[in-house]
């Protein structure tokens, strides 16, 4: 069977490199910082509510998270939090931005060979500079023909990206850990999607049920399974 052109899109955070575990670790430090005011549950719940309220305003990423964390700390302490404790929250944010990039298992092995066989696109949301920095630290840029850092991953965004690069949705496979951002919008356009769950999923990305799209939706245990899937799709 002839191999037909297949373009593969990769999400970045928690698909190519660890991210949510860094946030988890920061949450632990944040709860400790506020423990004299409230229990961990209340801290988590209030911070998440602040993040959701500010999402339209701040978008995704570390800077918006840090601003929301400061706002929440002031609210939960009824203004009793000290300047030094707020400085520690600023530091949490800066530590996240300076964190080394740790590739997920298998990524270093499969991305190079995949790039030799298919056109790879990186499609990620978050802070522009932070995502660029992580990509640069990852050493993976060379394998991607296009880098798209977007403010939201919905069908309109994917449609625009695919049109820009002349990719038919039927010849596009998106790989990612978020059903909401990586999988559902691509399936809605008629593309294929490989869902590779990460150990932790951020509340705002949670979706209750798996999508049904026969022959176009695939759940994989590891990014190591992507090359075999890509070969099947490329020859089908």
Residues in touch with a copy of itself (CB under 8 A):
57-59, 63-64, 66-67, 70-71, 73-74, 77, 79-84, 86-87, 90, 93-94, 97-98, 127-130, 132, 149-151
C-beta of 28 vs 90, nearer to a copy of itself: 90
C-beta of 3 vs 74, nearer to a copy of itself: 74
For residue 6, the minimal CB distance to a copy of itself (Å) is 22
Residue 85 neighbours by CB under 8 Å, 6+ apart: 33, 73
Query: Cα dist. 221→110, 114, 196 in Å?
Result: 14, 17, 6
Instruction: Report the distance separating Cα 50 and Cα 45, nearest Å.
Output: 9
For residue 19, the minimal CB distance to a copy of itself (Å) is 17
C-beta of 64 vs 176, nearer to a copy of itself: 64
C-beta of 73 vs 196, nearer to a copy of itself: 73
For residue 87, the minimal CB distance to a copy of itself (Å) is 5
For residue 218, the minimal CB distance to a copy of itself (Å) is 30
C-beta of 158 vs 195, nearer to a copy of itself: 158
For residue 202, the minimal CB distance to a copy of itself (Å) is 17
């Amino acid at each position: 069977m002839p191999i037909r052109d297949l373009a593969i899109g990769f999400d970045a955070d928690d698909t190519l490199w660890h991210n949510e575990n860094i946030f988890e670790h920061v949450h632990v430090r944040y709860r400790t910082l506020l423990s004299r005011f409230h229990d961990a549950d209340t801290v988590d719940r209030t911070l998440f509510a602040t993040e959701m309220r500010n999402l339209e305003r701040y978008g995704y990423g570390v800077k918006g998270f840090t601003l929301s964390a400061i706002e929440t700390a002031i609210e939960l302490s009824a203004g009793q939090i000290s300047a030094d404790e707020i400085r520690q929250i600023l530091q949490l944010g800066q530590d996240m931005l300076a964190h080394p990039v740790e590739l997920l298992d298998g990524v270093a092995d499969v991305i190079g060979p995949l790039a030799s066989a298919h056109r790879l696109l990186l499609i990620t949301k978050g802070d522009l500079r932070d995502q660029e920095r992580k990509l640069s630290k990852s050493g993976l840029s060379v394998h991607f023909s296009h880098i798209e850092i977007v403010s939201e991953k919905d069908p309109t965004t994917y449609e625009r990206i695919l049109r820009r690069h002349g990719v038919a949705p039927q010849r596009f496979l998106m790989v990612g850990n978020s059903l909401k951002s990586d999988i559902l919008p691509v399936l809605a356009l008629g593309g294929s999607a490989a869902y590779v769950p990460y150990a932790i999923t951020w509340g705002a990305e949670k979706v209750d049920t798996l999508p049904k799209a026969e022959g176009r939706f695939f759940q994989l245990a590891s990014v190591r399974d992507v090359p075999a899937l890509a070969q099947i799709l490329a020859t089908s």
